[in-house]
């Protein structure tokens, strides 16, 4: 059975300084017909308007970590982002949203990345389709149901688009246009499936599955004592082999990757992750094949 997607929410500004999603959401609010498809209604939302106005990632706490079901039901959690999360969750439920596209940008060199936190076949095939029509698209997979606090966890069919590298508070026209094209491709795909006309006959999915997060080297006081190595900076999705340099100390000493197998780092030196103790994520590159879309979607 093909999933019945009738209502889509396109959300920008979960993080106020990530302007690609902010201005795409604003554009689609101004020109809503551009994101409508036969049998599929799409609404465009601006999530954290106060943070957007102030050019900040958030006011009190990270909004994209505030959607845990228990937190949403806790009346004592009412700071700025916690209150917004409750409002957004109610709207998603009341408007019977089936699919969420959460728009983000990053200072890491992530290109055009689709982030999945589920192994749902519908989203996997959508991701495979996007990588087939656009070789620039990468698919990053978190362990299924690992974290229910993301905006995209509010619905079964939720995922994020992460684009970069771009500085916080900066609007990059090329990334804006590439992300807009990606959104249209997603909506066209959803429409085609509802009409029983898959846009492609078959595809393979190459994805990057997160293995672990890596913090910066720190001293006994918790202070960072090494930087991302110049050879690794902006090398997201590139292979990191055992013995390759990962960090360099302030006095010029290399710190090497000591793992036993080749990995593919992502979110390398993302500025917003300093406060979270994350220098990068290490991933494993995986490839799986699908039978024809028509056959697999009818199972």
- Predicted confidence at residue 199, as pLDDT, reads 52
- Predicted confidence at residue 146, as pLDDT, reads 65
- Predicted confidence at residue 256, as pLDDT, reads 98
Whether 20 contacts 176, CB under 8 Å = yes
* Topology given in CATH for the domain delimited by 7-206: Aminopeptidase (3.40.630)
Domain residue limits, the chain:
7-206, 212-283
Burial of 68 (0-12, 13-18, 19+ CB in 10 A): middle
Give the CATH number of domain 212-283: 2.20.25.160
Label the pairing between strands 7-12 and 99-105.
Answer: parallel
- Predicted confidence at residue 252, as pLDDT, reads 98
- Predicted confidence at residue 290, as pLDDT, reads 58
- Predicted confidence at residue 288, as pLDDT, reads 82
CA end-to-end span of the chain: 6
Question: Consecutive 10-residue runs of the chain (299 residues): their mean pLDDT?
Answer: 86 98 98 97 98 98 96 97 98 98 98 94 93 96 82 96 98 98 97 78 82 98 98 98 98 97 98 98 89 42
State what percent of residues in the chain have pLDDT above 70: 93
Cα gap 173→269, rounded to integer Å: 23
- Predicted confidence at residue 292, as pLDDT, reads 41
Whether 106 contacts 168, CB under 8 Å = no
Cα gap 47→35, rounded to integer Å: 18
Nearest 5°: CA angle at 256, between 253 and 262? Answer: 160
Taking 3-state DSSP, the helix, strand and coil percentages for the chain, each rounded to the nearest 5, stand at: 30, 25, 45
Whether 192 contacts 40, CB under 8 Å = no
| pTM reported for the whole predicted model | 0.94
Q: Where are the alpha helices (DSSP H) in the chain?
A: 19-30, 49-54, 69-72, 80-94, 121-133, 173-194, 293-297
């Amino acid at each position: 059975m093909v999933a019945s997607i009738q209502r889509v929410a396109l959300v920008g500004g979960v993080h106020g300084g990530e302007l690609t999603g902010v201005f795409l959401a604003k554009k689609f609010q101004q020109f809503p017909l551009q994101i409508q498809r036969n049998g599929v209604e799409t609404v465009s939302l601006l999530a954290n308007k106060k943070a957007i106005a102030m050019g900040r990632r958030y006011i009190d706490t990270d909004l994209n970590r505030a959607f845990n079901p228990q937190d949403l039901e806790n009346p004592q959690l009412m700071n700025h982002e916690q209150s917004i999360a409750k409002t957004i969750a109610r709207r998603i439920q009341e408007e019977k949203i089936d699919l969420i596209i959460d728009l983000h940008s990053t200072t890491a060199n992530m290109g055009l990345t689709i982030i999945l936190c589920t192994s749902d076949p519908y989203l996997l095939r959508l991701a495979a389709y996007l990588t087939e029509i656009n070789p620039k698209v990468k698919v990053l997979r978190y362990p299924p149901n690992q974290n229910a606090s993301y905006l995209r966890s509010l619905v079964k069919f939720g995922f994020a688009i992460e684009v970069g590298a771009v500085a916080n508070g900066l609007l990059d026209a090329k990334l804006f246009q590439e992300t807009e094209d990606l959104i249209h491709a997603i909506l066209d795909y959803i429409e085609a499936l509802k009409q029983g006309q898959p846009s492609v006959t078959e595809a393979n999915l190459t994805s990057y599955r997160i293995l672990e997060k890596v913090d910066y080297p720190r001293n006994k006081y918790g202070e960072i004592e090494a930087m991302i190595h110049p050879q690794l900076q902006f090398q997201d999705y590139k292979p990191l082999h055992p013995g390759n340099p990962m960090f360099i100390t302030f006095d010029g000493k290399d710190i090497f990757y000591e793992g036993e197998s080749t990995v593919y780092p992502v979110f390398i030196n993302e500025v917003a992750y300093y406060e979270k103790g994350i220098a990068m994520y290490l991933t494993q590159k995986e490839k799986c094949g699908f039978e024809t879309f028509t056959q697999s979607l009818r199972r």
